[in-house]
Amino acid sequence: MKKQRIAQRPLLVGVSGVQGVGKSTLSKQLSERLQQDGISCESVSLDDFYLDPQERVQLAEQYHPLFKQRGLPGTHDLVLFDTILTQFRVGKAFSLPVFDKSIDKKLPRSQWRQVEAELSVLILEGWCIGIGAQPESLLTQPINAYEQQQDAGALFRKTVNQFLKQYYQPRFAQIDYLIYLNGMDFERVFRWRLQQEHQLIKARGQGMDDEQVKQFIQPFHRLSEWGMQSLANLADTEICLGETREVVSVKHRFVD
pLDDT band of 216, cuts 50, 70, 90: confident
Query: Taking residues 124-142, what's their average pLDDT?
Result: 97
Distances in Å between the Cα of 157 and the Cα atoms of 41, 75, 126, 142, 212 are 35, 13, 19, 9, 21
Tell me whether strands 11-17 and 121-126 are parallel, antiparallel or unpaired. Answer: parallel
Query: How much is the pTM?
Result: 0.90
Rounded Cα gap, residues 81 and 96, in angstroms: 9
**pLDDT score of 197:** 86
Rounded Cα gap, residues 85 and 96, in angstroms: 10
Query: Taking residues 228-256, what's their average pLDDT?
Result: 89
Tell me whether strands 105-106 and 113-115 are parallel, antiparallel or unpaired. Answer: unpaired
Tell me whether strands 113-115 and 94-96 are parallel, antiparallel or unpaired. Answer: antiparallel
Rounded Cα gap, residues 238 and 17, in angstroms: 10
Q: Residue 116 sits in a domain of what CATH number?
A: 3.40.50.300
**pLDDT score of 233:** 87
**pLDDT score of 2:** 39
Neighbouring CB atoms inside 10 A of 32's CB total 12
Rounded Cα gap, residues 228 and 68, in angstroms: 26
- The residue range of the domain holding 118 is 3-101+110-252
Choice among 11-15, 23-27, 214-218 with the minimum mean pLDDT: 214-218
Tell me whether strands 177-182 and 237-241 are parallel, antiparallel or unpaired. Answer: parallel
Neighbouring CB atoms inside 10 A of 97's CB total 20
**pLDDT score of 254:** 66
Length of the chain counted residue by residue: 256
pLDDT tens-digit map of 168-191: 999 999 999 999 999 999 988 888
**pLDDT score of 127:** 95
Question: Is residue 101 a contact partner of residue 45, using CB atoms and an 8 Å limit?
Answer: no
Mean pLDDT for the chain overall: 92
Check whether 5 has a pLDDT greater than 90: no
pLDDT tens-digit map of 97-122: 999 988 999 999 999 999 999 999 99
> Looking at the 3D structure of the chain, how many domains does it have?
1
207 or 81: which leads in pLDDT? 81
